Amino acid sequence: MTPDVYKQRRQHLMAQMRKRGGGVAIVFTSPEVARNRDSDFPFRWDSYFHYLSGFPEPEAAVVLVVNDQVERSLLFCRQKNELREIWDGFRYGPQAAAEVFGFDQALAIDVLDEHMPGLLANAPAVYYGLGTNSTLDTRVQGWLQAVRLQARAGVSAPAQAWDVLGLLDEMRLVKDDSELDVMRRAARISAAAHVRAMQTARPGQHEYEVEAELLYVFKKGGSQFPAYGSIVASGVNACCLHYRENNRKMLDGDLLLIDAGCELDGYASDITRTFPVNGRFSGPQKDVYEIVMASQDAAVAATRPGARFIDPHLAAVRVLTQGLIDLKLIEGPLDDAIAQNRYTRFYMHRTGHWLGMDVHDCGEYREPGEKAAEGQEKPWRILRPGMVTTIEPGLYISPAADVPVAFHGIGVRIEDDAVITAQGCELITGDVPKRVADIEALMQR
Q: Give the catalytic positions in this structure.
A: 38, 242, 259, 270, 349, 353, 360, 392, 396, 413, 415
Strands 125-128 and 23-28: parallel
Q: What is the DSSP letter of 13?
A: H
Contact 341, 324 (CB under 8 A): no
Side-chain-side CA neighbours of 368 within 13 Å: the count stands at 7
Contacts made by residues 292-297, CB under 8 angstroms, sequence distance 24+: 292/320, 292/393, 292/394, 292/395, 292/412, 292/413, 292/414, 293/414, 293/434, 293/435, 293/436, 294/319, 294/323, 295/319, 295/320, 295/323, 295/393, 296/391, 296/392, 296/393, 296/414, 296/416, 296/434
146-177: b or e for each residue (b if 16 or more CB lie within 10 Å)?
A: bbeeeeeeeeebbeeebebbebbbebbbebee
Q: What is the DSSP letter of 40?
A: E
356 burial (CB, 10 Å; 0-12 / 13-18 / 19+) is buried
- What's the CA gap between 157 and 117, in Å, rounded? 9
Helix (H) or strand (E) holding 18: helix 3-19
33 burial (CB, 10 Å; 0-12 / 13-18 / 19+) is exposed
Contact 346, 324 (CB under 8 A): yes
Contact 348, 396 (CB under 8 A): yes
Neighbours of 308 (CB within 10 A): 17
